[in-house]
Amino acid sequence: MWITVETLCCIRLEERSDRMGFKDGFVWGAATASYQVEGAVTEGGRGLTVWDEFARMPGKTFSGHTGDVAADHYHRYVEDVAIMKALGLKAYRFSVAWSRILPQGYGAVNEEGLRFYKNLVDELVKNGIEPYVTLFHWDLPYGLYRIGGWQNPAITDYFAEYARIVAEYLGDKVKHYITFNEPQCFIGLGHVTGEHAPGNIMSRRAVLEMAHHVLLAHGKATKVLRKVAPHAKIGYAPTCSAHYPDTQKPEDVEAARMATFDICPDPDNFMWNIPWWSDPVLFGKYPEEGVRLYRDIMPEIGAKDMEVISEPIDFYCQNIYNGSAVCADGNGGYRYVPREPGYARTSIGWPVTPESLYWGPRFLYERYQKPFYISENGMAAHDSVSLDGKVHDPNRIDFLQRYLRCLKKTAEEGTPVEGYFLWSLMDNYEWSKGYSERFGIVHVDYKTQVRTIKDSGYWYRDVIAGNGVHL
């Protein structure tokens, strides 16, 4: 579905700002994930993952698509880094495939897998692009799943050991690590709704136990990284629906803040919230509302668990794509404002709400007081190569401009936004949607693997060159 300028709205933020753009040193980047781009699933000693198995189950992915080849980044990373340089990217956020390093998730180390990531890091640094390494982006080694996956408490130590191996091998060329990407998704979609790998729907008690183990793994890995990579900064990247006020009235602003941090806005995916995944990391405790809701099914919490989980991090990330307008309900609570008929949506069906990139960072910084990155933001479309050999995607340019104007405004008003990672660098395997959706600013012909920079890529290049001044 194409998006027009007329159908998009950014509340009170349409005016061009004549003030300076983002701060000096703002990190302009793009992001990918290992299973979505690498391919080469049986090469280089890589072990199986839950996604390798899930994608082969009938009916689980669009047209039975798998990530076996994806964007073939494993073989084409040199070409892809050259494209990044041509786009002027300052940073590249990518994930390491755990099963390339430890094929079973534990045990023997696969040196060939480590060499791939070292070569990628070397190529990035050589071209002036800062690597931001995400340790886990959903592709759990199948060997770990067979022994209980995230329900097995031993996984917390396995993850910490994996973090140690990666950091020691990559050395001082990697100055930024992110432990987990979107735990709400690999736990919630993987074990609450079952629409993502491993597709094993579990009880609420079991899901809360798995969530606790993810948080413990984060804390243990953070401590290990502090020891073996003292030069590096460490972050964490959950996701959220960043809600925004329907009006500027103080009561509506407070209602939007309340909705953004509600513990259980979606009863069908009760893990889809911010506080359960962020309060323990940044406050050292689970949110009181959640503890009250789940008191009868809470996992066993060790005496030092919360101390481990809250090992200090250097920066906080959120993947923000959209949210909803909210107003006060007149009773100290909030209600969602119905979307207008024919509201703007991306091709994947997600609503277009640029306001989320103003209010989301503002609310999140107010609560957590950490330097802040947008670790993912972008849109899906059904782009194609035109007869002129180019990929014209004005809808994506319009989307990005509106969202970035909102991010710029919140940064100018004092939210310490450190960087923005566009999702995605290139078209890739979009999980259960297979290859049916395209998020990239670089088009990938999946039959030939030919890359074509889209109009949005050249537009983003110019934004980077001007540090967002002319948005």
Instruction: Collect all residues with Cβ–Cβ distance below 8 Å to 13 and sequence separation of at least 6.
Output: 354, 355, 358, 405, 406, 409
Which of the residues 161, 376, 430, 437 is marked catalytic?
A: 376
Active-site residue, from 123, 130, 161, 182: 182
Residue 239 CA to residue 215 CA, distance in Å, equals: 15
Rounded Cα distance between 155 and 159, Å, is: 6
Q: Which of 127, 148, 29 is nearest to 77 (CA)?
A: 127
Question: Annotated catalytic, 376?
Answer: yes
Query: Please, where are the H alpha helices in 66-154?
Result: 73-86, 98-101, 111-126, 142-145
Cα Rg of the chain (Å, integer): 21
Of the candidates 113, 155, 94, the residue with the CA atom closest to the CA atom of residue 375: 94
Are 151 and 209 in contact by the 8 Å Cβ rule? The answer is yes
Report whether 157 contacts 10 (CB < 8 A). Answer: no
Identify residue 26 by its one-letter amino acid code.
F
Contact call for residues 155 and 144 (beta carbons, < 8 A): yes
d(CA 308, CA 215): 9
Rounded distance between C-alpha atoms, residue 283 and residue 306, angstroms: 9
182 is catalytic: yes
The amino acid occupying position 101 is I
DSSP string for 198-215: T-----HHHHHHHHHHHH
CA 326 to chain CA centroid, nearest Å: 24
> What are the distances in angstroms from CA 288 to CA 268, 280, 294, 295?
21, 11, 10, 10
Closest CA to 73 of 48, 44, 102: 44
Q: Which residues contact 362 (CB under 8 A, 6 or more apart)?
A: 410, 413, 415
Of 239, 301, 297, whose CA–CA distance to 266 is shortest?
239
The residues, ordered by sequence, that sit 6+ positions from 247 with a Cβ below 8 Å of its Cβ are: 327
- How far CA 186 is from CA of 22, 26, 50, 200, in Å, comes to 32, 30, 11, 11
What residues contact residue 318 under an 8 Å CB cut-off, 6+ apart? Answer: 237, 238, 239, 240, 242, 360, 361, 364, 372, 373, 374, 375
- Tally of helices (H runs) and strands (E runs) in the chain: 17, 14
Active-site amino acid positions: 182, 376
